[in-house]
Amino acid sequence: MRTIFIFLCLISPAIAQNPWNVVTINVLGAVETEVRGVNNSGEIVGFYRPSVSTCLQVPANPQVPTCTTRGFKIVNGVLTKLNVPGATSTAIMGVNDSGDLVGFYLKPELGCTFGIYHGFIWYYHQNFVKTIDFPGKTGFCGSDVLWTVPMGINKKGNVSGTVWSAVDGQPSGGFVWQSGTFHVMNPGGSNSGVYGMSNSGKLVGTTFYTLDLIPLWTGFLKAGSDVDFFQLTQDDTFTTAVNDASDIAGYGIYGNGFFAKHIEWGEGSNDATEVQPSFIHLMAGQATFPFAMNEQRVVVGAYYNSDGILHGFVASPKF
């Protein structure tokens, strides 16, 4: 671990009358920075790409990095750099209210050209890293190009995530990990990923699904036995964040960031009447990718500007 102080800078609103206060996060000396998690104490986590970094795919998908990365955690303005012991790459994807972290790491392995990717839970205050790998997925060794990518963890220690395909850069199945067991979670079909989970167990993600006769990547919210599907103006939609009030956040395929307030409220009994979300733009830059949110509606993620570099951000609502 390495601890340094971080300087945060307030950027200009990306759009007129921006309903968000946006702060940019750049790790000093890094090529790119992504903020991937925030808890209710305001701790934020993510990863950065060092100045010298190998990439399996160029350009890289901002959702799941294939470049060499290092993790970080920021608490009260102090940044601590983190790397799973023995790993050549660490991506921290989420944090819960206890400060526990989830993500994935790359570790060298004899007989595997690129090493093996593993999912992990980092019980931070016990300084214990637990590897969690979806059964039957070898993490990019041999002919298997799938690896386990935990995306979020709630206060109960339950983990949401996806089995990720390195070949086509898309999810190949969603899961929830609970008490040592993986549970398959594919609300709309096998091409699904579970990207966010609230403390009460509400889930959001994306699936390739036909809505209104249009097959697209479609966002979903699963609350108990009820599942709602929605698309952002008939655009591929990736829903990445949810809280207990059913506020959601995510983005369209071109980085059209969005937020929607408690989308389940106002529906009829037993969901007889489905209410489509009323989306609020969330644009930190020219292309914006929200990834996580807390109960105070603080949203974190990454954005591109004309420099073509990913910058992390923290956005607080004015509403």
pLDDT of residue 18: 81
Residue with more model confidence, 309 or 275: 309
As a whole number, mean pLDDT of residues 175-190 equals 95
Region 168-195: mean pLDDT is 94
Tokens of 87: 């790993």
Q: Return the pLDDT at 119.
A: 97
Greatest C-alpha distance within the chain: 57
Specify which residues 290 forms β-bridges with.
301
pLDDT band at 263 (very low <50, low <70, confident <90, very high): confident
pLDDT in tens, 155-179: 999 999 999 987 788 899 999 999 9
Residue 203: pLDDT over 90 = yes
Phi, psi of 50 (to 5 degrees): -65, 165
Percent of the chain whose predicted confidence (pLDDT) is above 90 = 68
Which range of 114-128, 134-148, 260-274 scores highest in mean pLDDT? It is: 114-128
Is pLDDT of 209 > 80?
A: yes
- Asked whether residue 151 carries a pLDDT value surpassing 60, the answer given is yes
- 151: closest CA among 99, 187, 188, 104? 104
* Average of per-residue pLDDT across 53-79: 86
The domain segmentation of the chain, as residue ranges, is 19-317
State pTM to two decimals.
Answer: 0.91
Burial class (CB in 10 A: 0-12, 13-18, 19+), 163: buried
Per-residue confidence (pLDDT) for residue 58, from 0 to 100: 58
pLDDT at 4: 40
pLDDT band at 17 (very low <50, low <70, confident <90, very high): low
Confidence of residue 144 (pLDDT cuts 50, 70, 90): confident
pLDDT at 79 over 90: yes
Question: Quick one: pLDDT band at residue 272, thresholds 50, 70, 90?
Answer: low
CA within 13 Å, CB half, 114? 24
CA distance 202 to 220: 11
pLDDT at 13 over 90: no
Q: What is the mean pLDDT of residues 44-72?
A: 85
Q: What confidence score (pLDDT) does residue 32 get?
A: 95
Give CA separation, 184 vs 93, 151, 196, 203, 311, in Å: 20, 15, 15, 13, 33
Averaged pLDDT, 102-112: 92
Residue 15 CB: number of other CB atoms within 10 A?
Answer: 10
Q: How far apart are CA 9 and CA 14, in angstroms?
A: 14
What are the backbone angles phi and psi of residue 108, rounded to the nearest 5°? Answer: -60, 145
Does position 182 have pLDDT exceeding 80, yes or no? yes
**Exposure string for 19-54, b = 16+ CB within 10 A, e = fewer:** ebebbbbbbeebebbbbbbbbeeebbbbbbbbeebe
In this prediction, residue 265 carries a pLDDT of 54
Q: Give the confidence band of 43 by pLDDT, cuts at 50, 70, 90.
A: very high
Per CATH, domain 19-317 is 2.60.40.1220: no
Question: What is residue 9's predicted lDDT score, i.e. its pLDDT?
Answer: 39
**Residue with more model confidence, 114 or 200:** 200
Among residues 248, 255, 250, which one has the least CA distance to residue 285?
255
